[in-house]
Amino acid sequence: MPKRRRSYISLKPFFATVLCLLVGFILFFIPPSNIFITLVYVLLLAFTTFLISSFFTKNKITQVLVSLFVAVFLISNIFAGFNVLNTLLLLSFIIGVRLLFR
């Protein structure tokens, strides 16, 4: 009897959907009364961004840099508020690191 190859189903879309639903649940139903809840939300959003960016690019460095940008951007907005100059500096830093690893 010939051996059959088993086709494994990727669970990455399932985990991305579950994380998106969890992020939406936290966003709509849990008030950000504590800094711990907000930081957990930021980390979940960064990990979700990492998983979703893996669908669009196969380069791990780009995935890590995109999720790092999202995490640092949101954390800096929590503590310092939105500032255009800080956002541009962070974006230029991330682009510079990406060009450095090229």
pLDDT, tens digit, 9 for 90 and up, residues 47-98:
999 999 988 888 898 899 999 999 999 888 888 888 888 888 888 998 899 8
The contacts of residue 26 (CB under 8 Å, 6+ apart) are 37, 40, 41, 44
Q: Is the pLDDT of residue 1 over 80?
A: no
Length of the chain: 102
Contact 20, 29 (CB under 8 A): no
In angstroms, how far is the first alpha carbon of the chain from the final one?
Answer: 49
